[in-house]
Amino acid sequence: MNRAHVSVQGITKRFGPTVAVDGVSLDVEEGSFTTLLGPSGCGKTTLLRMVAGFHHPDQGDIFLRGIRVTDIPAHRRNTAMVFQEYALFPHMTVGENVGYGLRLRRVSADEATRRVGQVMELVGLAGQQRKFPHHLSGGQQQRVALARALVVEPEVLLLDEPLSNLDAKLRIRVRSEIRQLQQQLGKTTLYVTHDQEEALAISDRIAVMNRGRILQLGTPLQIYHHPVNRFVADFVGLANFLEGEVSAPGQVRMEGVSLTVPDGALPGRRVTVVLRPEAIRLHARPPEGVANVLRGYVTAASFLGTLARYWVDAAGRHWIVDVPSPGEALMTGEVFLEIPRDRIHLLTET
C-alpha cells in the first residue's frame, strides 16, 4: 500500500504531436509542500491540471490516498485549486466567492457564514466579505482565492503560479504567508512555479521538470547543492561550469588548470565541475597554504547590498564570484580565486 497522499504513476499527456508530460511518477506525502519547478512549457502546469482533473492523462494513473481518481471529473475530486489570475467570480461579493464551494456542498447558511468568517480571518481579511473582488488589491484578491480554496477543506491544495501577478516585495510576503498557513493547517500542497528562488524558499520538496519529465526530486538543499545534471544546476541558482577529465583520484584537469576535487569519479572520465558563485573565495593577495588558487582580473563588479558580485577572468575563463557582506570598497584589478575542495560539486554525466 502506497503511503503517499497524492500519487502520480507513469503519467503521459500529449497535445497533438507535442508530449506535454512524459511518463512522470511522483509521490506527495501527507502534509508536505511539494513544488513543481521548471521553465515554461516543461509540463508542470499540465501535471497539476491532471491532478485537479482538468485534463485526462493519456497513460498512467492518479491516486488520492491510494484511491484511483483518474476517471473522476474535477468537480468530484476533493482538490481545490488557486489560479494564476485568481479567477474570482466578478459578479459575486468576496463572501459569496469564498462561500461558493460550501453552498455547493449544501452546508447550511449559518454554518457557511461562520466558516467563511473563520477562513477570512485566517488569511487576514476579516470583515471584508461584502466587498466585490475589484475593490481589493492584487494581494488581497490572491488571499481571497486562497480562502476560497481552503474553506472547502480540500484533501489537496493545488496552486498554479499564484504569485506571478504580484510585485516583487508583495510576492515575498505572500509566499511566506502561504507557507505559514500551509504549516499551520498541515495541508498537503502541490505548487507550480517557474521561479527557482520562490521554490527554494517555500517548499519541503522540489521536483525540477524539463520537457515533460521530472529531472530531480529532492529538498531545496539537495537540489541546490547536489544537482543531478547541468540543467538543474543551471536552472536553480547561478553556477560556474568547468568541463574536464579526471586525471588522478581527486584531481580534475582542464585547459590550463588542474583542480583538487572531492573523491568519487574514476580517472579518465569526463566530468563537469559545478561551482556556486558564493563557494569561491576572493583574495586581494595570494592566500597561503591552500589548494586550488587561481590568479585573475576583475572585469566588472556589482554591489547588491548583502553581497557583491564579481565577474573575474582567470585561467582563460569568465567566473562569477559572490562575496557576502562586502565592506566599504569593492575589489578591483588583480585578485586571487580560492576554490575550496569541499564546495565543488561534480557531475559525471555531461
Partner 1 sequence: MARILTIPAFRVAPNTTLLSWGGITFLGALLLPWTRSGRDLFTFTTSSTGLALLGSSPLMPAILATAVLVAVAASLPWTNAQRGRVALGLGALGTVLVALRLFGAGQPFSGAAVVAGLGFLAVLGTGLALAGVLRADAFIASSVLWAGAFVIIFILFPLWAVLKASVIVKDQFTLAVVAETLRSPVFFLLNNPATTRNETLIGVQAGLVAAAGAVLFLAVTRRLRQSWVWILYAGLGVGVLTALYLGFGALRNSVLLAIVVGVISTALGFVFALLGERSRLRTRRLLGPFSILPIITPPFVLGLAMIYLFGRRGFVTYQMLGISTNIFFGPLGVAVAQVLAYAPIAYLVLQGVVQSLDAALEEAAETLGASRWHVLRTVIWPLARPGIANAFLLVAIESLADFGNPIIIGGGKPFLATEVFFAIIGRFNPNEAAVYGVVLLAMTLSIFLVQRYWVGRRSYVTVTGKPSGAKARPLPPALDYAASGVFLAWMALIVALYGSVFVGSVTKLWGFDYTFTLEHLRNLSPTGWKVFWTSAKLSAYAAIPSTLLGFLIAYLVTRVEFPGRGGLEFGSMLSFAVPGTVMGIGYILAFNQGPLLLTGTSLIIILAFVFRNMPVGIRSGVAAIHQIDRSLEEASTMLRANSAVTLWRIVMPLVRSALLSGLVFAFVRAMTAVSQVIFLITPQHSLATTQILTYIEYGSQGRGAALASLLTVFMIAVILALYGINRRLGGPTAREVTAA
Strands (E), the chain: 6-15, 18-28, 33-37, 59-64, 67-68, 79-82, 156-160, 188-193, 205-210, 213-218, 240-248, 251-254, 257-260, 270-275, 281-283, 293-303, 307-314, 317-324, 334-338, 345-347
Should residue 193 be labelled a site residue for partner 1 when binding is judged by CB under 8 A?
no
Should residue 81 be labelled a site residue for partner 1 when binding is judged by CB under 8 A?
yes
Should residue 88 be labelled a site residue for partner 1 when binding is judged by CB under 8 A?
yes
CB of 87 to partner 1, least distance (A): 4
Q: Quick one: which of 84, 113, 251, 260 contacts partner 1 (CB under 8 A)?
A: 84
Using alpha carbons, list the distances in angstroms from residue 34 to 85, 156, 180, 188, 315. Answer: 21, 11, 14, 8, 41
CB 282 within 8 A of CB 268: no
Q: How many CB atoms lie within 10 A of CB 325?
A: 8
Q: Which stretch binds partner 1 (CB under 8 A): 24-32, 68-76, 214-222, 253-261?
A: 68-76
Between CA 238 and CA 42 the distance in angstroms is 20
Burial grade of 57 (CB within 10 A; 0-12, 13-18, 19 or more) = buried
Should residue 86 be labelled a site residue for partner 1 when binding is judged by CB under 8 A?
yes
Q: Which stretch binds partner 1 (CB under 8 A): 30-38, 76-84, 215-223, 269-277?
A: 76-84
**CA 249 to mean position of chain CA atoms:** 35
Q: Quick one: which of 59, 89, 299, 334 contacts partner 1 (CB under 8 A)?
A: 89
Q: Which stretch binds partner 1 (CB under 8 A): 19-27, 97-105, 242-250, 302-310?
A: 97-105
Q: Are strands 188-193 and 156-160 parallel, antiparallel or unpaired?
A: parallel
Q: Quick one: which of 87, 172, 293, 330 contacts partner 1 (CB under 8 A)?
A: 87
Nearer residue to partner 1 within complex by CB, 133 or 244 = 133
Should residue 83 be labelled a site residue for partner 1 when binding is judged by CB under 8 A?
yes
Nearer residue to partner 1 within complex by CB, 102 or 282 = 102
In the block, residue with C-alpha cell 488569511: 123
CB of 209 to partner 1, least distance (A): 18
Using alpha carbons, list the distances in angstroms from residue 142 to 92, 125, 160. Answer: 16, 11, 12
Should residue 162 be labelled a site residue for partner 1 when binding is judged by CB under 8 A?
no
Should residue 105 be labelled a site residue for partner 1 when binding is judged by CB under 8 A?
yes
Instruction: Read off the amino acid at residue 206.
Output: I
Q: Which three cell numbers mark 299?
A: 572585469
- Helical (H) or strand (E) element with 175: helix 168-185
Nearer residue to partner 1 within complex by CB, 100 or 310 = 100
Which residues face 164 on adjacent strands?
A: none
Binding flags for partner 1, 164-183, as an x/- string (CB under 8 A): -x------------------
Q: Quick one: which of 44, 148, 175, 345 contacts partner 1 (CB under 8 A)?
A: 148
CB of 58 to partner 1, least distance (A): 17
Nearer residue to partner 1 within complex by CB, 6 or 233 = 6
Q: Which stretch binds partner 1 (CB under 8 A): 142-150, 216-224, 267-275, 316-324?
A: 142-150
SS3 186: coil
Q: Quick one: which of 54, 303, 334, 348 contacts partner 1 (CB under 8 A)?
A: 54
Give the footprint of partner 1 on this chain (CB under 8 A): 52-54, 73-77, 79-81, 83-91, 100-101, 104-105, 133-134, 138, 141, 145, 148-149, 152, 158, 165
